[in-house]
Amino acid sequence: MALRTVKKYPNPILRKKAEDVTDIDEGIHAVIEDMFETMGGEAGIGLAAPQIGIYKRIIVVSINEKGFEHLALINPMITSSSKELVTSEEGCLSVPGINADVSRPEKVTVQGTTKNGGVAEITASGLLARVLQHEIDHLNGVLFIDRLSEKERKRINSELDDMQREFTAMVR
C-alpha cells in the first residue's frame, strides 16, 4: 500500500473523464488499497481514482454505516435517483478549505462491481447517497463546485480564484 498525492483544484487532471475498468487484477486491487490509505490519511470519507491521477472508474467510501466502512466500487453508475433534492454542505479533498451547500437527489440507486468481481446494487439516502454521487461525479470530471448555486459560487469565488493563481504560479 502507498499513500498517494491528492490532486488539487484547478489541476486539469480533475476534469478528465475516467475509463471503465475492464480487468480486475492485482493492479486494480493495489490501486483500491492505495485509495483507502490515501483517503484515511486525508481524513476523507470518499475518494475517486482520478483524484490520485488514475483514470479508472473506481471509488472508495468509508462512512459509519453498517457495510459501508470499507466500500470499493468499480465502474459505478447511478441507475435511478429521487426527484426530491436535499441541500447540504459538501467539501472535497481536491478542493481543500472550501465547503459549500450543494443540492443533490435525496435517494439514489448505484450499481457497480466489487473488487472481487461481484455485482453490487446499493440504494442509499442521506450521507451515503451524497458521497456516492459526489465520487461518481469525479469519475466524470465534475467537481462539487460545478453544482453550486449562483449565490454559493459567488460566496467562494475569491477562494477559487486564489487557488487558480497558486496553481498557475506552480506550473510556470
Positions annotated as catalytic residues are: 135
Cell numbers describing residue 74: 468499480
Q: Is 83 helix (H, G, I), strand (E, B) or coil?
A: coil
CA dist 124 and 133 (Å) reads: 10
Q: Which bin fits 126, alpha (ψ -120 to 50), beta or left (φ > 0)?
A: left
Residue found under cell 448555486: 149
CA dist 9 and 161 (Å) reads: 10
Q: How far is CA 54 from CA 63, 87, 115, in A?
A: 23, 30, 16
